[in-house]
Every structure is written in structure tokens, then in C-alpha cells.
Structure 1
């Protein structure tokens, strides 16, 4: 598989270098660790810091969401790998304004371990940290084992509401509560059509037939629920929504925020066809769409396919989802 790279072992460093140079008014790299990025803009004292992070290859997640109204800093890992504790700690120290820091990250073993270690180190620096894991992927574990679920595209809504809460002056406990509430109200499920390839190997991340798709595939190529024959977009959307509805029953007149997220190589033409069907199904059920997002928000290099995310919103979450954002890869007025 062809890639626009130099040395495969330097892709993350070169990406970060290019990103910081492209957006110098938004973001800067800390001298203490070249995997630690923070906002270049002044933040107010006593504001809760928002720290996000995870593996590279998911762009615009995660570094693309550092900016006004969302995250204050990001720790960057290798391709599909958690950042180590050291860059997480450096970001923590840089963004702490006296009100503590909230860590937001997906439920993966490496992230759980490394963010937990960083939180322990931050505590030794007298920085109060709250940690919130995202667990929105309904395909990765049954509802009775929700704590084992992966975090996928629903992370976007957790970043959005927590960042807004911090920006609006909520305290540390309240920002963490908002993040957990958003996660609790969020469900996602994806479908994989074609694999991606890691720069170091050039090999497909998983195998799939020319006329197959995989329901519930993970963002790193983790196995889904099953492989089935390729189908029409409407039928695929119906199948993904069926699993979401079974896991999070929604009633008539409920309101949701919708994300149809591309995995890296799916054209927006196809994503909007998927969104069209999502809107139809929700309308038939009497469920109202409060806000909608369509595009590449949490990707998997050049993987083909998409995910659908629904977040049930109430008045509190609507106010936070509406909050303006100005990040290099995401702007909302």
C-alpha cells in the first residue's frame, strides 16, 4: 500500500512537526517532551484543564481537538498505541491552572495503564486529576459488561461536552460528571469495508473478502461481530442502528446528537448517503435530531467504512454541545 512518508519509524514525529508548523497560533509543542502538545492560546486561571490523548493514526483525533472550547492539551502515542506516562504528565503540568485536570481517553489496556500512572505522578505534584474512559462501542461487549467496551467515535461528544463545561467554568468534579454522563448517553457501532496498513509494515491490518464487510469492527482492526456480504447503504445503516437501539432504547420525542464518522478513506458522498438513512429511521421513530456531524472525526488511517454514533441529549448537554469551538481541525460557531 502506497504512503506519502519518509522513514516509517519517524512518521509520528514528522506529522507532529508538520502539524505544529501548520497551526502555530493554535498549538505548541512542549520542550520537555516532543509528544506533548498544548494550546498556544492563553487560558484563564482556575479553569479545569482538559487533556485528551491516544495513538496516532486517528486524525483529526486526537491532536486536532486542542483549541478553544475543547481540549487544552494532548499526549500523542505511536500509531494505534497509547502515549507513555511521561508526555501525559508534562501536558498535565502545563495545562493545570489550579483547578485540576480531567483525562479523557478510550478504554484500551495501554491507555488505562499509562494514563493511570500519569495521574499517580500528577498527584505527587499536587495536581488533582479526574479520569474518564469512553466506552461507546456497543459491538465490543454486551450491556451487562459495558465497562469492557472500547471507546470509538463517541469520544468526540465526550471531548465536546467536557471541553465546553470547563470553558464555562464548571469545577473539576462537575466537568468529570459531564464527561461520564455524555459517555453514558452515547452509543456507537461501525462497519469495516477495507483495511488500513501501518507505515512500518505496509501490510493490511485485517483480511476481508472483496464482497465482504465486517460489522462492529474496531478502530484498530479488532474483530467485530461478524463478516457478512456487502450490502446497500440503507441496509447497513439499519443494521448498525438496530444494535444501537437495542442497547440504548430511545422513546418518541427524545433528542439526539448524531455523528456519521468516516474511518479514513470513505468519501463524504457515501457518508451523507448513510446519514440520509439515519435521519429517515429516526424520523420514523419520532426521535428528533438536535445536531448532526458528518465527516472524518475519529479515523483509522485509510480504513474504509464508517460508524454511527447517537448521543441522547437533555437541556444540560444541549447547552454544552452548542458551545463554540475553534480548533485546527474542527470549528463550531
Structure 2
């Protein structure tokens, strides 16, 4: 056997979006304000996933203003609609759709008033990038002027939105049920090089293809995929969380190794857009699903390289060498 062996492995996954086996819900308020700007209020919590940027994009597209003209308000639930927790890959699916529906109601109020003032069919009105116009006419004004005209007619262009994802528990007898309303799917391929003397595993590349519904922010989606892959690499090769009788016995980060930038291989993200028919935006989510196939793909690649199966994570050099020793012993017995 050569000292360094290469192999490739593949793994596929599926993931349910939003809360499990229950009704998930979220709400939002939206307003077109003086100056043609927009305000959005929801109890969403930003934990680094970029949800505030995404909500600004959603509101801007729905209302026809620029993203920088959107203000996302205080997330204190004493002063904003319920949005629930940041988890279960639900932020885009639940909060994004709530904001979209709220913005559509606010926009409808504005369009109704402008259509009456201009004496044109409301379905002929369009708005984009801070301007509002009527198709097949020369009527065109800024959003600031449109809001001012709407308010002069006694109407404040505000809207509220609520989005619900339905789920049911699983039948205890035959297992039927629908624990999630929307599902995403993903596949990853890993290429590794295994040092058969030291047991070290180097991941040379990851190819990650994921269904995200509609990709509202493609660069953000790529960032989520890359982050999930890096976390999966840590789970596969480094992070050894040990417990004894329910208590952690791993002593700090000197023993609990995390991947650094030097450990991250080339990650090739492939975004698959299969819009969700029950989502006003067509979007689903990608936060946690991008983590799931990484470790299985790496383990399969190790097996392809050395013919030994690693069944306990992480695949430390000691475990790789032990698996190789066991394989050689089994091969010698069957020779």
C-alpha cells in the first residue's frame, strides 16, 4: 500500500424546514414612509446568518424601493410581532415570507390610492428602485411623491403579514404524517488524501449541491453552504466532545480542536433552485442542511482511499491507524 492514498466519497441528505411536527408561525409589519423609504418590524433575531440583509432585499423587491432605503426595526417582542426563534433553518422561510406578505399589503394600499388618483387600472401600476409608474402611460413619479400623494388622500400605506407552516406528528402505529411543510435536499462529494503511516486525513476538496428553493441572496447561500461544510469537517475529523456519566470531560479548546482557515479545502457550491409551491417567495432554507452530508461524504472518501470503514467520529489519526491495522489483520486471516 502506498503511503498516501486518495479517495472520493459521496453522501446525500434531506432536511425539513421550520419547527418539527407542529404549527410554526411568524408575523411582520411594513410601512412605506415619508421620503419613499420603508420600515419593517418583526421579532427576528440576527445571529450572523444574514437575515437582516435578506429581509431588506425582500422588502425592497416587494415594495419597489432600494435595499438601502429599508429599515428593519427593533426586534423586542414587546413592540413587534412574533417571529419565534432563530433555528430549524426557519428564518428565511418563516420571517421572509411574513415580511413579503406585509409588504404586499402595504404596497396594495399605496397602489389603490394612486390608481384612483390617476384614474388608471391598479393592475397597470409598477414600482421599482424608488419609482412608481403606470404601464402604457407617461405617468411616473418617485416613491416619495407617491407616498405623499397617498397620505394626502388620507391613507397610510401600511401592511401586516403572517405566515404559517403546518406540520403534524407521526402516527405511532404506521408512522404516517407530515412533520414538515417544506423539505430541502443536498448532495456532497469529498476528495481526501490519507497518510497510511501517520493516519492523518487531508480533505482536498468538497463539492456541495443543495436545493434551497429560491435563492434570494445567492452569495449569502454560498456563505451558508461553506460554513456548514467547515462545521461538518470539524465534526468529521477534529471535534472530539467527550462525556462521562452525562458530564463533559473534554478539557477546553486545547483538546477540542476546531478547524481553522488552514484546514478548509476548496469548497465548490452548487445552488439548486426548486421553489417551494407553498411559499410566497418560493424560498426554503440552507443553514443546517449544508452541514448534514459533509461528514458522511468524508467517511466514504476515507473508505474509498484505504478500504477501512471509520464508524466513530471524529476520524482522528489514531482511529484511522486502528482501522487500517484491523483491515490488515483481517486481510491476513483471509489470505
Short-chain TM bin = under 0.3
Which TM-score applies when normalising by structure 2?
Answer: 0.26
Which TM-score applies when normalising by structure 1?
Answer: 0.26
Q: Which has the larger radius of gyration?
A: 2
